[in-house]
Structure 1
Amino acid sequence: MNYNDYELKEYAATTERQWDVSAAFPVLMRKVYVWMTMALVITGITAYGVANSPGILQAIYTNQILFWGLIIAEFALVISVSAAINKLSLPVATLMFVAYSVINGALLSYIFLAYTSSSIATVFFITAGTFGAMAIVGYTTKTDLSSMGKYLLMALIGLIIATLVNVFFVKSTGFELILSYAGVLIFVGLTAYDTQKIKQMLMQAPDAGETAQKYALLGALSLYLDFINLFIYLLRIFGKRE
């Protein structure tokens, strides 16, 4: 085989690989948003159902063991899915994601008691619009957002620490409002950053097999968390109290 034949075969192989990636990529990205939407629906239905079930609501918010047990379970599920995604099967990882969505919904049930239904709906649509705009930015921008992501993650750690300090020590509503604005900015940025990261990760997938789908599920979890946190911080700013 001469050099030209070799080049032709290499070109054909590269083109085939590119076709495989481009064929798998939209399927995987679609799964990311399908799983994310599924989780949001489950969370919303669970939150509304628990809010309208006085017995369950009272059990969650008066039983400290149950309340903190649910919070610990949330952290355990997120860490387990993220750290062990390669070892988990797709059905198990999906079930853990669903379980997380249910627990998160149960813990978020208080918003239906604290805020008016109209303001919750309004803030949800504001969140959806903001999230969608930043997801488009992250998907289409040619700028590498990885350096921005590092600063956002550091800011997120600072936000968590400041929130805990305010909850247990400062207990200032003014400081809580400042933290809410900071939270909105952080999760607006993280939405764009995570979208770009997910896109780059899935573009390298050779096919839409189980391994690639598990990473798509992990991407859906990241975007779900961005959406939920953005919604909560916007609700604290714009939500009308009952």
Structure 2
Amino acid sequence: MADWNDTSRNAQRMGSVPRAGGDVAGRASYDEGLRKHMLSIYNYMTSGILLTGIVALLAFTSGVAETIFTGGILRWIVALSPMAVVFAMSFGANRFSTATLQLMFWGFATLMGLSLSSIFLVYTGGSIATTFFATSAAFAGLSLYGYTTKRSLSGMGSFLIMGVIGLIVAMVINLFLQSPAFHYAISFIGVLIFAGLTAYDTQRLKTEYEYLRGTEFAGKAVVLGALSLYLDFINMFQFLLSFLGNRE
């Protein structure tokens, strides 16, 4: 999911970052704008994860999760609908308004809550909580690294996307094999891939601000950036839970 919003690269460039020895006031203004931009992304992402968690917990405690995931086509609708929203947001970003993308993001977070409510039927509450906090700590560290490192992570993008595709293929294959060893290998590799994507996407979003600031796409980029980091976090959490979680 790392390059789902590449359309933003076509946004009009509004000027380059002030260089060392250049306009100090301009540099300060740029840095302040960048901080606000990234903070907005993190605020949306965190709010989305919080909404997902609340919906998942309510769905479980009310018995809705058990109703959904005990069979029938409804479980597949709930499981696949978040993916449909992601594709709609990614490929329709230029057509939708910022307000529409915001509503779609909240709808996506709600649908993800319904989808993730199934984990309460499989894993113990303690292991879910432990994995969530472990994922939060790892995500914070990796995102901080992506934001502060001077090393370019752009070369990781294509490699990580290929890794995601390979991961999906392996998961489909294991639906037929039902191999526990293969399952744990997929989970371990999944954690590594989305850990890498967390750092890569953070740096990408920081870099793209130079081209987006002052454009009409800037507001949309905040929502799409939050979606990107949300997906990194949730996927890392799910693979880590699958690898370490204690089953009921």
Band of TM-score, shorter chain: 0.7 to 0.9
Give the direction of change, closer, same or farther, for the CA distance of 1:173–1:185 in structure 2 (3 Å limit): same
Letter in 1 for 2:246: K
**1:233 aligned residue:** 239
Change in 2 beyond 3 A, CA 1:210/1:39? farther
Query: Mapping of 1:64-213 within 5 angstroms?
Result: 64-167=72-175, 169-207=176-214, 211-213=217-219
Query: CA offset at residue 116 of structure 1?
Result: 1.4
What's the % identity of the aligned pairs?
41
Deviation per residue, 1:135-182 (Å, 9 max, x gap)? 011111111111111101101100001001101x10111110110000
Query: Contact 2:60/2:66 (CA < 8 Å) preserved in 1?
Result: no
- Between stretches 135-144 and 189-198, larger displacement belongs to 135-144
Out of 41, 58, 61, the residue aligned to residue 49 of structure 1 is 58
What is the aligned counterpart of 1:216 among 214, 222, 245? 222
User: Does the 8 A contact of 1:202 with 1:216 survive in 2?
Assistant: no
Answer whether contact 1:43 1:104 (CA < 8 A) is retained: yes
Query: CA deviation digits over 1:113-135, x for unaligned, max 9?
Result: 21111111111111011111110
Match of 1:60 in 2: 68
Q: Give the superposition deviation at 1:17.
A: 5.7
TM-score by length of 1: 0.88
The letter of the residue matching 2:83 is F
Q: 2 CA distance for matches of 1:225 and 1:40?
A: 10
Aligned partner of 1:7 in structure 2 is none
| CA deviation after TM superposition for structure 1 residue 18, in Å | 4.5
Q: Which amino acid aligns with 1:95?
A: L
Deviation of 1:112 after TM superposition, in Å, equals 1.3
1:127 and 1:230 in contact (8 A); partners too? yes
Alignment of 1:30 onto 2:39: yes
**Is the 1:134–1:188 Cα contact (8 Å) retained in structure 2?**
yes
TM-score by length of 2: 0.86
Structure 2 CA distance, aligned partners of 1:83 and 1:189? 24
Is the partner of 2:96 in helix, strand or coil?
A: coil
- Helix, strand or coil for the counterpart of 1:241? coil
Q: Residues 204 and 22 from structure 1, CA distance in 2 versus in 1: closer, same or farther, beyond 3 angstroms? A: farther
Unmatched runs of 5 consecutive residues or more in structure 2 = 1-18
Q: Does structure 2 conserve the Cα–Cα contact (< 8 Å) formed by 1:78 and 1:100? A: yes
Tell me by how many angstroms 1:210 deviates. Answer: 5.3
Which whole-Å CA distance do the structure 1 matches of 2:238 and 2:80 have between them?
19
Q: How far, CA to CA, are the matches of 2:27 and 2:189 in structure 1? A: 41
Q: 2:9 matched to which residue of 1?
A: none
